[in-house]
A and B are shown apart, each in its own frame.
Chain A
């Protein structure tokens, strides 16, 4: 209905009078400003802008409180109020000064705001809240220990492991190793020299000269007393190849001796020969052991032969990845089975019959909401306590979360069912079962499948991390590699997770698109 301009003007006037009558400020503009200087927000409250006043007051109280706490933290270990502040200022001058300035600004603006509230009898702009937000931002920066400098400074350190994670494929394959070795016995202590093995034509041979001597030992002050120098001469090895020296003590323990802190390693010449001098190494021998002992020194050439084959890391990753996908699948499967009956209990249109059913509806909804609001990772922690480490714990956790999430989605699908087609099918003379098969299920099937696939997608994604807390799957392997600092193998796991999740994402989106 059209109104004349005069009518409209009258209406506006009436509205203004009605409002101002109820909102006459209790104090004048100056009074309001003073009140807000004394207590930020008080002036606004006195100007009948209670909500605004309370908001300003609580924002100020919160930021001043947090600021005080941070100062106390920074000035820990000094006594006295002034000293604490000075210490804090000394440690983080920028932060303390900035926050103090912002707070003072907010304080002043709050007073100005109160002045305007009282004068104009209506809400001024929201600029003061932007200022409060800025204050919170500065506080948050300090509390969260944000450190951009560190981010840049540590980057070179992080680069090597990161590059291994990003391109880990060197560790994805391994080769069969072939060893060319020859060894000789060395006697430690006094006694007849051990018999030298005969040299065979075409076989590698190692000659140790002398082959009787003293091992390196320690004196009372644990200073090393060097052992006998021996010369190793190798012949008949593969030419131009790195050769490692190994030592085997009489007990049968092998180790690689070092000279000046470096492992002993030598490269053979054109003829496959080498010569090397070394000191007989230190070896802790049991006190009961006395007398001479036969040690053995060996020269080894390790070379790779044959085609590359998947490394253990790759094989483990693939098997864990399969485990992960199936974990996600089983959790989805159980989730679907249990959430179907639950979803009916959580559907308002089905449960609205009586008080009791409504009570069940609210109870079910509440429980579902609680279960859903707890992250699967936390459920996994609980499940690990419950059923122990391994994929089953992960499945239990994911199933619980799936029931809650799917129960909600399904119940919404049930609530969204159109009664019209059901009525139409009934009108044809169909019985109850036929009505369900023709009227209800076709309406449910597409959201049902779509939600289930979506959930499978989520569950596989979740099961890749659920291993972090011991729930099995590839996450379990990943943390182990990271703890062992085996970044290449960890990288392989990360790559597989990324590939699987991306593939699944695509497939599930594609299926859902077709269904829609």
Chain B
């Protein structure tokens, strides 16, 4: 179980990105974080594996304090938390294979890895991970040659190499078109259902939230303004939605029936 307690983050320039955020995530959950651009979603996800240092509060994972872990411990924690990004964040000049293999870095002997010398089993596992996302053909292409959707699948394969218990996904589909969004989230859903990996994902499209979330957290100006289950959000009213997305936001997603068939056509805020 992952527990956030009174988490706050104030950036050096004084921006309060998170204010007293508390919630918990059960293993196997598909938690979706929603909120306007700038509401603190990325900050929250990055605090989870301490790519950003929280200012106060704590995050504990099955009793281990992530916020106070020293750096070797932090690395062993990080290697069990996969992360995928809006802009994929692949190393573009490396091959797809090497990108996937880089997911193993947290487990490897430094010197061997510096020379890009990976174990045979790692290579086999990397191939298997690529197989799961349907990219075996592309294994030895350069990452930059792939399309956006393919790059995000490489991102998922890289996360898989970490044998993660948690996957953090920061707006994983915001740079992709709606059809691809379903493909990518479909992969995440399979990892969640079949492998029991906990997924914490920030999303923009309400239909996607309604379709995939088992639990939802709404952020606004760094505060938690909404908590609900997937069921709740499927029954969400305009008033509640405005509470999260601000007064001038309009409800864009269709009802649950439409959400299952048609991808969203509009977003409450432009993708960053």
- Contact present for A425 and B91 (CB under 8 Å): yes
**In chain B, residues 81-111, which have Cβ atoms closer than 8 Å to a Cβ of chain A?**
81-83, 85, 87-94, 98, 102-108, 110
- Which of B32-40, B71-79, B194-202 has 4 or more CB atoms under 8 Å from chain A? B71-79
Q: How far is the CB of B172 from chain A (nearest CB, A)?
A: 12
B16 contacts A by Cβ under 8 Å = no
CB distance from A432 to the nearest CB of B (A): 9
Q: Does A10 contact B (CB under 8 A)?
A: no
Can you list 12 A-B pairs, Cβ within 8 angstroms, ordered by A? A420-B85, A424-B155, A424-B158, A425-B105, A428-B161, A431-B105, A433-B110, A434-B105, A437-B113, A438-B94, A442-B91, A443-B92
The 4 lowest CB-CB distance pairs between A and B, nearest first, are A429-B106, A429-B79, A430-B105, A424-B89
Chain B residues with Cβ below 8 Å from A418 are 89, 92
Proximity bits, B199-232, A CB within 8 Å = 1, else 0: 0000000000000000000000000000000000
Q: For the complex formed, measure the closest distance between the CB of A437 and the CB atoms of chain B, giving whole angstroms.
A: 5
Does the CB pair A427–B78 fall under 8 Å? Answer: yes
Residues of A within 8 A of B105 (CB): 425, 428-431, 434, 438
List which B172-191 residues lie within 8 A (CB) of chain A: none
A357 beta carbon closer than 8 Å to chain B: no
Given the known inter-chain contacts A427-B81, A437-B114, please indicate yes or no for A446 contacting B93, CB distance below 8 A. yes
The answer to whether A420 and B102 have CB atoms under 8 Å apart is no
- Which residue in B76, B89, B107 is a CB contact (below 8 Å) of A420? B89
- In angstroms, Cα B81 to Cα A427, docked, is 8
- Smallest CB gap from B81: residue in A: A427
* Total contacts A-B at CB 8 Å: 84
CB pair A427–B83 under 8 Å, yes or no, is yes
Complex Cα gap A116–B110 (Å): 77
Knowing A433-B114, A438-B105, the reply to whether A426 touches B79 (Cβ < 8 A) is: no
Least CB distance, B12 to chain A, in whole angstroms: 11
Contact yes or no, A445 B93, CB < 8 A: yes
Interface size of A by CB at 8 A reads 21
Chain B minimum-CB-distance residue to A419 = B89
CA distance A424 to B87 in the complex (A): 11
B257 at the interface (CB under 8 A from A): no
A37 to chain B, nearest CB (A): 59
The answer, yes or no, to whether A259 is at the interface (CB within 8 Å) is no
Q: Assess A442 versus B114: contact at CB under 8 Å? Given A423-B51, A423-B89, A429-B79.
A: no
Residues of B within 8 A of A446 (CB): 93
The distance from the CB of B68 to the nearest CB of chain A, in whole angstroms, is 17
A388 at the interface (CB under 8 A from B): no
- Which residues of A, 431-487, contact B by the 8 Å Cβ criterion? 431, 433-434, 437-439, 442-443, 445-446
Interface residue? B162 (CB, 8 A): yes
CA–CA, A424 to B98, complex, Å? 13
Our pick among A426, A434, A442, A443 for the contact of B113 (Cβ within 8 Å) is A434
Residues on A with C-beta less than 8 A from B113 are 434, 437
**B152 interface residue (CB < 8 Å to A):** no
A416 interface contact, C-beta 8 A:
no
| B94 x A431 contact (CB < 8 A) | no
Partner of B79, one of A423, A424, A428, A442: A428
A interface SS class: helix
For the complex, give the distance between the alpha carbons of A425 and B87 in Å: 14
Best-surrounded residue of B77, B89, B98 (most CB of chain A within 10 A): B89
Residues on A with beta carbons closer than 8 Å to the beta carbon of B102:
425, 428, 430, 438
Roughly how many angstroms separate A439 CA and B114 CA in the complex, as a whole number? 11
Q: Does A421 interact with chain B (Cβ within 8 Å)?
A: yes
Q: Are B93 and A442 in contact, with the CB atoms below 8 A?
A: yes
Known contacts A421-B91, A423-B89, A438-B94; is-contact A429 B75 (Cβ 8 Å): yes
What are the residues of chain A within 8 A of B8 when measuring CB–CB?
A: none
Interface string of B107-131 (1 = CB under 8 A from A): 1101001100000000000000000
Count class of interface residues, chain B: 35 or more
B58 in the interface (beta carbon within 8 A): no
Is A427 in contact with B49, judged by CB distance below 8 angstroms?
yes
Within 8 A of A (CB), among B116-160: 155, 158
CA distance A139 to B132 in the complex (A): 76
Q: Which of A424, A433, A442, A443 contacts B85 (CB 8 A)?
A: A424
- Residues of B contacting A420 in the complex (Cβ-Cβ under 8 angstroms): 85, 87-89
Residues of A within 8 A of B75 (CB): 429-431
Q: Closest CB-CB distance, B72 to chain A, in whole Å?
A: 9
Hey, which chain B residues are within 8 Å of A430, CB to CB? 75, 102, 105-106
Q: Cβ of B90: which chain A residues have Cβ within 8 Å of it?
A: 421, 424
Are A426's CB and B51's CB within 8 A? yes
CB neighbours (8 Å) of A437 from chain B are 113-114
Closest Cβ–Cβ distance, residue A185 to chain B (whole Å): 84
CB within 8 A of A434: which of B85, B92, B93, B114? B114
Q: Is there contact, CB below 8 Å, between B93 and A443?
A: yes
Q: Measured between C-beta atoms, what is the minimum distance from B100 to chain A in Å?
A: 11
Q: Compute how far the CA of A164 lies from the CA of B114 in the bound complex, rounded to whole angstroms.
A: 58
Q: How long is the Cα–Cα vector from A433 to B112 in the complex, in angstroms? A: 12
**Which single member of B76, B92, B98, B114 contacts A429 (CB below 8 Å)?**
B76
Min CB distance B144 to A, Å, is 11
Residues from 389 to 405 in A contacting B, C-beta threshold 8 Å: none
Task: State the Cβ distance, A143 to closest chain B Cβ, in Å.
Answer: 53
**Alpha-carbon distance A424/B103, docked complex (angstroms):** 9
Q: Which of A421, A423, A429, A438 neighbours the largest number of chain B CB atoms within 10 Å of its CB? A: A429
- Given A420-B85, A434-B110, A434-B114, A428 and B162 contact (CB-CB distance below 8 Å): yes
Q: Which residue of A lies closest to B84 (CB)?
A: A424
Q: Which residues of B contact A429 (CB under 8 A)?
A: 75-79, 105-107, 162
On chain A, the residues within 8 Å of B92 by CB distance are 418, 421, 442-443
Known: A420-B89, A424-B83. A442 touches B94 (CB 8 A): yes
With the chains together, A471 CA to B83 CA distance in Å? 57
Closest CB-CB distance, B262 to chain A, in whole Å? 29
From B77, B91, B108, residue with most partner A Cβ within 10 Å: B91
The CA of A412 and the CA of B108, in the complex, are separated in Å by 32
Q: Find chain A residues with CB under 8 A from B103 CB.
A: 428
Expressed in whole angstroms, the Cα–Cα distance for A425 and B51 within the complex equals 11
- The answer to whether A428 touches B106, judged by C-beta atoms less than 8 angstroms apart, is yes
How long is the Cα–Cα vector from A154 to B108 in the complex, in angstroms?
Answer: 76
| A424 to B167 Cα, complex, angstroms | 13
Q: How far is the CA of A326 from the CA of B142 in the complex (A)?
A: 35
Which residues from B are CB-within-8-Å of A421?
89-92
Measured between beta carbons, the chain A residues less than 8 angstroms from B78 are: 426-429
Chain A residues near B155 (CB-CB < 8 A): 424
For A420, the closest partner residue in chain B by CB is B89
Residues from chain B with Cβ under 8 Å of A443 in the complex: 91-93
Complex CA–CA separation, A430 to B155 (angstroms): 16
Q: Chain B residues near A439: list those with CB within 8 A.
A: 91
Nearest residue in A to B103 (C-beta to C-beta)? Answer: A428
Residues on B with C-beta less than 8 A from A423 are: 51, 85, 89
Please, how many angstroms separate the alpha-carbon atoms of A428 and B87 in the complex?
16
How far is B5's CA from A50's CA once the two chains are assembled, in angstroms? 65
